[in-house]
Homo-oligomer: A and B are copies of this chain.
């Protein structure tokens, strides 16, 4: 298992690693990893909860860019196309992809108390989906599984835990 809900880790190294990977991926695909794109990806990675597009605008403004919605939506669209971020559709919000370039089905664990959201690649899920779709005549292009509940930390403390929220880094 590649993942745990461990709260202690060097997150700045996560961010750096994500940015370095992103650079490589963009170079490979012949796309430009511009400053706004980098900034948006960095902000998204700074948060452990999915960030809404409009939450990203203030920091974009501070960084000296135009902070109208199209700026952030373009960056987000680009990052999604490159497989660098995912949209969590039930939240209208975005989170960094933890394994860009991989193909395996993944699912998102979303804590409805602190919004901590974690992506987990799962061969089991992949094979379950393969099983379900077998002989159905439906050609799968993509899939998206959101699992909502309480993260380990919030299970312990039923009062509101806002750690993930505070780490949003978006203002």
Contact = CB atoms under 8 A, between A and B. Distances in A.
13 contacts: A89-B90, A89-B146, A90-B144, A107-B132, A109-B133, A109-B138, A136-B152, A137-B151, A138-B151, A139-B155, A142-B149, A144-B145, A144-B146
Contacts of A142: 147-149
A139 B107 CA distance: 15
A14 interface: no
A95 to B, nearest CB: 15
A129 B128 CA distance: 9
Given A131-B124, A132-B107, A143 B147 contact: yes
A132 B106 CA distance: 11
Interface SS, A side: mixed
Interface in A123-168: 124-125, 127-129, 131-133, 136-152, 155
Given A5-B136, A128-B125, A148 B152 contact: no
A145 B127 CA distance: 14
Interface of A: 4-5, 89-90, 107, 109, 111-112, 120, 122, 124-125, 127-129, 131-133, 136-152, 155
A132 B4 CA distance: 12
Given A124-B128, A132-B122, A132-B124, A148 B137 contact: no
A86 to B, nearest CB: 12
Question: Which 5 A-B pairs rank lowest in CB-CB distance, beginning with the nearest?
Answer: A137-B152, A128-B128, A89-B89, A141-B149, A89-B90
A131 to B, nearest CB: 5
A120 B132 contact: yes
